[in-house]
Amino acid sequence: MEEKEGAVKTLIEKATGRGAEEVKIISPENVFTGRWVRLKCQYGCGGYGKSLTCPPYSPKPEETEKILSDYEDALLIHFPTSVEDISNIMVDLEREAFLSGFYKAFSMPAGPCGLCEECSVEEGCINPRKARPAMEACGIDVYQTAREAGFPIEVVRSRDCPQNYYGLLLLE
């Protein structure tokens, strides 16, 4: 137990060291999914079907809900607008977690995968060690999840509005 607590503390320090504003340990039961999230991806997002980390390729909300029940803990990581490398940070934290004994560790960043100029949707991912689906791409209601954890998040009405990004690291 002590070992686990130490490993989580190290992960939190690493996240803040890479620019995260705050990290909270939450129960996966407090990560909320919604079928409507998928709808927003399908109707309204220009990225739909253009990346293997996005719908229709990423896990559906119902699948994500089941996946969440496989985990004991999660780190919800709040990034300010100034941090641009969230995908890399999250996958690095996942690896750190795995190596420290959380053999089921899995990370979900924010936004579409931007590792390649064009995603090789037909051929399969060329960088599977780094590509991970975003929380919203897996049908997670990021608004409700962040608010429930006491984090700020509002609808972004213009480019001048403050933006809050979140990554999720599932641990067990």
The site for ligand SF4 (CB under 6 A) is made up of 51-53, 113, 115-116, 119-120, 125-127, 131
State the nearest-atom distance from the C-beta of 52 to ligand SF4, in Å: 4
Shortest Cβ 85–ligand SF4 spacing (Å): 14
> Smaller CB distance to ligand SF4: residue 113 or 153?
113
Q: Whole-angstrom Cα distance, residue 168 to residue 65?
A: 14
CB 130 → ligand SF4: shortest distance, Å?
6
Ramachandran angles phi, psi of 66, nearest 5° = -70, -40
CB atoms within 10 A of CB 32: 19
Q: Is 154 exposed, middle or buried (0-12, 13-18, 19+ CB in 10 A)?
A: exposed
Q: Quick one: 28 or 133, whose CB is closer to ligand SF4?
A: 133
| 3 state SS of 140 | strand
Residue that is written with structure tokens 């991912």 in the block:
125
- Give me the least distance between CB of 111 and ligand SF4, in Å please: 11
Specify the residue, 12 or 94, whose C-beta has the smaller distance to ligand SF4: 94
